[in-house]
Amino acid sequence: MDKPVILTGDRTTGPLHIGHYAGSLANRLRCQQTHEQFLLLADTQALTDNAHDPGKVRRNVIEVALDYLAVGIDPAQSTICLQSHLPALAELSMLYLNFVTVARLERNPTIKDEIRARGFGRDIPAGFLCYPAAQAADITAFKATVVPVGEDQAPLIEQTNEIVRRINATAGCPVLPEAQAVIPAAGRLPGIDGKAKMSKSGGNAIALSASADQIRSAVRAMFTDSDHLRIEDPGRVEGNVVFAYLDAFDPDPDGLAELKAHYRRGGLGDGTIKARLEEILQALLAPIRARRAELATDPGFVVEVIRQGTARARERTEATRQEVVAALGLFRL
Which of 70, 88, 136, 280 is in the footprint of its own copies by CB under 8 A? 88
Q: Is 330 in the site for its own copies (CB under 8 A)?
A: yes
Per CB under 8 A, the segment of 97-105, 177-185, 227-235, 275-283 that binds its own copies is 97-105
> Coil, strand or helix: which one is 192?
coil
Per CB under 8 A, the segment of 80-88, 145-153, 198-206, 292-300 that binds its own copies is 80-88
Beta partners for residue 38, in sequence order: 7, 79
- Residue 230 per-residue DSSP state: S
Determine phi and psi for 202, rounding to 5 degrees. -75, -10
Q: 54 or 109, CB closer to its own copies?
A: 54
Q: 91 or 178, CB closer to its own copies?
A: 91
Instruction: Provide Rg for the chain, Cα atoms.
Output: 22
Residues 275-304 that bind its own copies (CB under 8 A): 303
Per CB under 8 A, the segment of 14-22, 71-79, 285-293, 321-329 that binds its own copies is 321-329
Instruction: Give dist(CA 258, CA 36) in Å, integer.
Output: 39
Q: What is the smallest separation between the CB atom of 53 and its own copies, expressed in angstroms?
A: 9
Q: Is 33 in the site for its own copies (CB under 8 A)?
A: no
Which helix (H) or strand (E) element contains residue 159? helix 154-171
Q: What is the smallest separation between the CB atom of 162 and its own copies, expressed in angstroms?
A: 12
- Residue 78: left (phi > 0), alpha (psi -120 to 50), or beta? beta
Q: What is the smallest separation between the CB atom of 205 and its own copies, expressed in angstroms?
A: 23
Q: 55 or 203, CB closer to its own copies?
A: 55
* Contact by Cβ (8 Å): 111, 135: no
How would you classify the pairing of strands 78-82 and 5-11? unpaired
Q: Is 101 in the site for its own copies (CB under 8 A)?
A: yes
Which of 93, 110, 240, 317 is in the footprint of its own copies by CB under 8 A? 93
Residues 43-62 that bind its own copies (CB under 8 A): 43-44, 47-49, 51-52, 54-55, 57-58, 61
**Residue 116, Cβ neighbours under 10 Å: how many?**
10
Q: What is the largest CA-CA distance in the chain?
A: 78
Report in angstroms the alpha-carbon separations of 109 from 112, 153, 220. Answer: 5, 9, 36
**Residue 282, Cβ neighbours under 10 Å: how many?**
15
Instruction: Give dist(CA 61, CA 38) in Å, integer.
Output: 15
Instruction: Give dist(CA 27, CA 30) in Å, integer.
Output: 5
Binding-residue pattern over the window 109 to 138 for its own copies, x denoting contact by CB under 8 A = -------------xxxxxxxxx--xx----
Q: What is the smallest separation between the CB atom of 301 and its own copies, expressed in angstroms?
A: 14
Instruction: Give dist(CA 286, CA 70) in Å, integer.
Output: 11
Q: What is the smallest separation between the CB atom of 174 and its own copies, expressed in angstroms?
A: 17
Residues 238-267 that bind its own copies (CB under 8 A): none
Kindly determine how many residues on this chain lie close enough to bind its own copies according to the rule CB under 8 A. 53
Instruction: Give dist(CA 137, CA 87) in Å, integer.
Output: 11
Q: Is 173 in the site for its own copies (CB under 8 A)?
A: no
- 282: amino acid identity, one letter: Q
Give me the residues that bind its own copies (CB under 8 A), please. Answer: 12, 43-44, 47-49, 51-52, 54-55, 57-58, 61, 82, 84-85, 87-88, 90-91, 93-95, 97-103, 105, 122-130, 133-134, 170, 303, 306-307, 310, 325, 328-331, 333
